[in-house]
Amino acid sequence: MEQFEERLKNLLAIEKAYRELTQTSGGTLTGKEIIRRREIGDIVIEPWDLKNLNPNSYDIALDPHAKKYILGDNDVLDPRKVNPTEDIIIPEEGLILRPGDFLLAKTMEWTETRNLVPRIDGRSSTGRLSIFIHVSAGFGDINFNGNWTLEITCIKPVILYPGMKIGQISYVTPSGEIDPDFLYGSSRKLSKYQGSRDAEGSLFALDSDK
């Protein structure tokens, strides 16, 4: 009888461990798991406010400091060059963005991510205002740290306000071994935007295979 009870205890422990594993791997983290990963150091979000936590994401805010490309009527963006930008401030009364405008903005939050794949997307409420917070670059790399650059465009004229909750960050557990030699920010990986605190224009020109 004692052997049966011990075996049952072991089976229940294995089942519990398996359940915990399947709940925390191979998918998008829940809000509760974001808290846990933050506590153990896999996630850094500064400033942190529990009110911004969602069921499976965390709201991110628009910083007032932004940039836009300096383009004349006949100028074009050239991927093989570092295209010039100018700094702008989004005023408290708001900045009107019109279709065809393109703003390089940034998040108010500084983030660091270890052992997870971070991703930013627009919120449903901002999407319904025709706002895009990125053109195509929503995924981050494992080990990225910095303020996120936002590539803001719109379909309809809209006002952007500093500090508005413009998007959300979520985290996905990677599948497979994480190779430290190829982490973003490692000596073997060209990490052009690692540690960015400002909105960054494209550094495509620095790619070795451009």
- Catalytic positions are 151
One-letter amino acid for residue 143 of the chain: N
Cis check: omega of the bond before 47, within 30 degrees of 0: yes
Q: Is the dihedral of CA 80, 150, 124, 111 positive or negative?
A: positive
Q: Give the pair of three-digit tokens for residue 209.
A: 């295979």
- Residue in 155, 110, 10, 123 with CA at minimum distance from that of residue 59: 123
User: Helix, strand, or coil here: 205?
Assistant: helix
Q: Give the pair of three-digit tokens for residue 11.
A: 């089976």
Q: How many CA atoms lie within 13 A of 97 on its CB side?
A: 27
What phi-psi label fits residue 73: left (phi over 0), alpha (psi between -120 and 50 degrees) or beta?
A: alpha
Alpha helix stretches (DSSP H) within the chain: 2-23, 31-40, 124-127
